[in-house]
Chains A and B, each alone.
Chain A
Amino acid sequence: MRLIRDSLGAFTGSDTGADRVVPPTGFTASLTLFAAGAMAFLAVFALALSLAAGRLATSWGEELARASTLRISAPAGQQAQQTEAALRLLAQTPGVASARALSEDEQQALLEPWFGPDLPLADLPVPQLIEIIEEGEGFDGAGLRLRLQAEVPGAVLDDHTRWRRPLVAAASKLRLLGAVSILLIAGAVAAMVTLAANAALAANAQVIAVLRLVGATDGFIARAFVRRFTLRALGGAAAGALVASGALLLMPSAGETAGFLTGLSFVGWHWIFPLLVPLLTAAVAFAATAIAARRVLGDLR
């Protein structure tokens, strides 16, 4: 009689008992698990891609675009005077936060890789460099060029933006594409779980009939299916997210100068996103199964 007692004990009151009224489904269960895992894996990568692209867009957009240089190559006698004129002009230009002539040492350091440490900078006609830090929307490049042409004939403005702008735009697009991918993955999870739940409900029409015969409400029947699919999606997605996170951790890192490909891993608190992926997958599965169950149970009188 112990077995009766145990089975009844496990059967009444506890959640697992209510779950057991729906027969186990080995094969489709593994399919759901696998699909949830694969989707979570893809979602984590899409997230990483999106976040990395976002970081790139931000750093290129802000750091690089905000530091332009002005090069002054004037005959030896006029170099200092033109530099002064250029700094004065820049100080009055809207969008310029600060402008600073590089010291001889700094220029020496910049040229060292090419000419070695013993370059006699003072004796050579090396142009003077002025570093410009922008603020707000930045300065009007064309307008500044016109004024420089008039007042500082030896000045050449290099504002980088010509080549950088499309890259920043591409990085922003990439971030958007990543976000769209995540939405599509969530939609695919919902569709997949709906199909699986519909199939399970249809396959168990006889079980549902018996449950109704003994007084089961739609809520009770739906819960048995919903709990099962939610847990399955949670388990599969946790595994998928774990594998994807591990793969990202193993990506070679190239430090500060990292390019896009090496900077794909999550940074700091962003690691919370791969943790959220299984929870969101479970939430999507919960909603999809609940809706499917409501519809199927409504059709099956």
Chain B
Amino acid sequence: MQLRRGSGTTGHLFYRGRAGVIELDNVAYSYGGGELLSGLTLRLAPGSFHFLTGPSGSGKTTLLKLCYGALVPTAGHARLFGEDVRRMDRDAIALSRRRIGVVHQDCQFLDHLSVAENVALPLTVAGEGGQELEQNLIELMTWVGLKSRADALPPELSGGERQRAALARAVIMSPEVILADEPTGNVDWEMSQRLLRLLVELNRMGKTILIATHDLGLIRSAKSQVQARVLRISNRKLQSAGADL
């Protein structure tokens, strides 16, 4: 399957030599109570493939939100493409979102638009369109097995169909980074392997991938295809998971 090559390549020159596309530097976060994360450091080098695991409630989703600027660290620095989130205004965050595809844990669709329109939403808000992209949309919908559901409304989809649509929406802009929160939580083994192959293929095209998941089987099969690092949230910090994975 052909995906559009990202256009924002100049950014790479700036951060390639010294740092990652997304960096959390000694970051702490609390929702108001005790600290959920503290002294946490993470560097996503361009083209790297990471898995993020940890018990439920350990802060995986929170960490992903810090990675796409939806949350601002209570201490330390989060940098997107070399820029400190704290110094970015909302428009700058919005523009950086076009370079970061996000698969939200509970998907988040516009329920009044069809599945196809939801998948194409990043193009709509970026004011992009045209024949080539349209063809991409159709191919992408076919690839995630939603071609026949294109005109359905999101509430009419099954849990697995929603996740596939969310992944399709995350990659349609061909972003440089893909952050996926439990992208295979509701799909069967075969479909999760297909979604993984899509992510692996995107990674081979140079995309940076971070997947939060509980699915150890998924991590194992990924490790046979790409060089993936596995990180675990433990004690409010990140640790490299053991070699048993």
Binding site for B on A (CB under 8 A): 1, 3-5, 7-9, 11-13, 17-18, 20-21, 23-24, 206-207, 209-220, 297-298, 301
Which residues of chain B have C-beta atoms less than 8 A from A297's C-beta?
Answer: 90
Contact A215 B130, beta carbon cutoff 8 Å: no
Q: Please report the C-alpha to C-alpha distance between residue A298 and residue B91 in the assembled complex, in whole angstroms.
A: 11
A4 and B137 within 8 A (CB): yes
The 8 Å CB contact of A214, one of B91, B97, B114, B138, is B97
A-B contact pairs, 28 of them (CB 8 A): A1-B138, A1-B150, A3-B114, A4-B137, A4-B151, A7-B114, A8-B117, A8-B133, A11-B124, A18-B124, A18-B125, A21-B113, A21-B124, A23-B110, A23-B111, A23-B112, A207-B110, A210-B108, A210-B109, A212-B70, A213-B102, A214-B97, A214-B169, A217-B95, A218-B94, A219-B91, A220-B127, A298-B90
The A-contacting residues of B in range 56-93, CB under 8 angstroms, are: 70, 90-91, 93
Q: Could you list which residues of chain B lie within 8 angstroms of chain A, going by C-beta atoms? A: 70, 90-91, 93-95, 97-98, 102, 104, 108-114, 116-117, 120-130, 133-134, 137-138, 141, 147, 150-151, 169, 173
B116 and A4 contact, CB distance less than 8 A = yes
Shortest CB distance A7–B (Å): 5
Residues of A within 8 A of B134 (CB): 4-5, 8-9
Instruction: With CB as the reference atom, state the residue of chain B lying closest to A301.
Output: B90
Chain B residues closer than 8 Å to A213, beta-carbon distance? 70, 97, 102, 104, 108
A88 to B225, CA, bound (A): 119
**Residues of the B chain whose Cβ atoms lie less than 8 Å from the Cβ of A207:** 110
- Majority-rule SS of A interface residues: helix
Contacts of B108 in A (CB 8 A): 206, 209-210, 213
